[in-house]
Amino acid sequence: MNASGVGFYILKNIKLHALSNIPPLSNDCESLWLEILTNQGNFVLAVVYRHPVSNHTLFREMFLNTTRYPSEHKHLYYICGYFNINLSNFEVESNIKYYVNSLISLSCKLLISKTTRVSGHSATIIDHMYTNDNKHDILSGIPMYEISDHLPIFGRMTCLHVAFLCDIA
């Protein structure tokens, strides 16, 4: 099974390097991890795409293990993407509750809590954004642009002068 593909559009003046030592999340998942270098401090920015029919348990364990890397190295991180895990089912699906509670146990907070994909028969929260940043003001949201079959999400860290938009079609 092939995953989709991920990427970033980065302004020329942004200093960064790819984190090649982050292990792959799974064979049916794509991710890109960057360390962004700023005068106010460095942080990790990642984008993730998880194929909808991939093994949820395997992905969860590998993703949780991967999010430990930036924390162990004292990096702030911002992770966004198309996770294909419907957070609106938090109360009714134990595997989703375990996933969210595991992220929270790693001092990770969820920045997107509204519907990101609406169809004629469902409304789901499958695009996610996470951070371990409790120090800075973060503006996040869902612009109402129909770029693909789901809505994009964005994050802006005001004191770091960084903003990003995430949409994976």
Q: Residue 59 pairs with which residues in a beta bridge? A: none
Has residue 129 been placed in a domain? yes
Sort strands 43-50 and 76-82 into parallel, antiparallel or unpaired: parallel
Has residue 9 been placed in a domain? no
| Model confidence band, residue 131 (pLDDT cutoffs 50, 70, 90) | very high
Half-sphere exposure of 64 (CA within 13 A, CB side): 17
Strand order in the sheet with 15-18: 15-18, 29-37, 43-50, 76-82, 127-131, 109-110
* Domain region containing 97: 15-166
User: What pLDDT shows up at residue 11?
Assistant: 77
Number of domains composing the chain = 1
DSSP reduced 3-state for 57: helix
- Residues 51 and 3: beta-carbon distance below 8 Å: yes
Has residue 119 been placed in a domain? yes
Select the more confidently predicted residue: 79 or 69: 79
Q: Shortest CA distance to 76 belongs to which of 137, 167, 145?
A: 137
| Model confidence band, residue 61 (pLDDT cutoffs 50, 70, 90) | confident
How many CB atoms within 10 Å of residue 43?
22
User: What pLDDT shows up at residue 162?
Assistant: 61
Mean pLDDT (the chain) is: 83
User: What pLDDT shows up at residue 10?
Assistant: 77
Has residue 42 been placed in a domain? yes
CATH number at residue 88: 3.60.10.10
